[in-house]
Structure 1
């Protein structure tokens, strides 16, 4: 009985120590966030636009506050809300279309998670395409844009349970906004990703008589041939 009491007290003390450590060091979640520009940007805008992507941490009440802000207002020059969150910012342009990764264990990651955020938020300052309210004569324009679910905002609830997974995130920036996807899909849709893998392949074979000495059967002239694939044009043509 005494042993059980001592064991229980030890567990309580360990839990208290872990709780203190967690509150002092911030959120302990560990995962990477990769952000990919996509080929869809050029299809939507006619070119690859210059834009920024902010990664920030927020608590529940701060997420509610962010939901009332359009990206246009958030990204305004001198925005007090943007200064308050002090985000990690990545910049993209037509000559910088590589993926970026907000990586676990880096100083930027530790700084953001040190605020003990409940949510991870990614925002981009691209124009909102296909907005039905983007025409003329809009009254209460800010209210309309702020109250809608804006696809240029991505909000992710950070796992906090001891046994919760911390999956890496792969976010693709498309003309319609931010899309969570798989690594393979995001890599395949990068502007620099080759298209050749999707195109039909040409095959060329070189055949020579086999060593078996068997006579080809009627209707099967290749029955005694040994063939191998070659790169088209890599070998001279057969002599007549």
Structure 2
């Protein structure tokens, strides 16, 4: 019996609204799949493409850790706490919704699409004061190495933080290379998402936008063959 699950890119939920094309890894909005509701504390991974000049108008959130990672293009953010930012390819943004916050997200450009991941994580503390944080990723440090983008550490300057015992890590892996990942917490699970290229995990070949998830290995390797790969690992608690 396999101790892991695979979600292929083509098996994700899909919605097209003209200006928005969205792939859902877990149940979201009109896409409801009882087999894919969440993975531990990981509740949402939406892979969104928004056309130029369009976006999501003001809408509320509460008691959720919301992370945005642009893959191409620029995303304009505005919220009820007075934050007004542009999140670019190479940035990571966190919004702790806590007691409640209203925000909007728009494509910052009129003539090009923006593709971004929006990820929701259940918090380990409810009704916190809403907060915003943004950081630029140093991709040089992710070359054949899993660079921490997000952690629970409120004091670090090297990554953003959230109200959860979770870590997000990114690696750009050369062809014919194996990069090891060591879990930060033995009780966590790992959700591995291939952003670009293809890679092998647990003898399974994963292509672009495929994912594999498991909670039984404390250490494992992500291995490439003839192509380079960009790999995102989301390590989250499983008791949700």
TM-score (normalizing by structure 2): 0.22
> Which of these two proteins has the greater Rg computed from alpha carbons?
1
Higher helix share: 1
Higher strand share: 2
Structure with more contact order per residue of length (Cα contacts < 8 Å, sep ≥ 6): 1
TM-score (normalizing by structure 1): 0.22
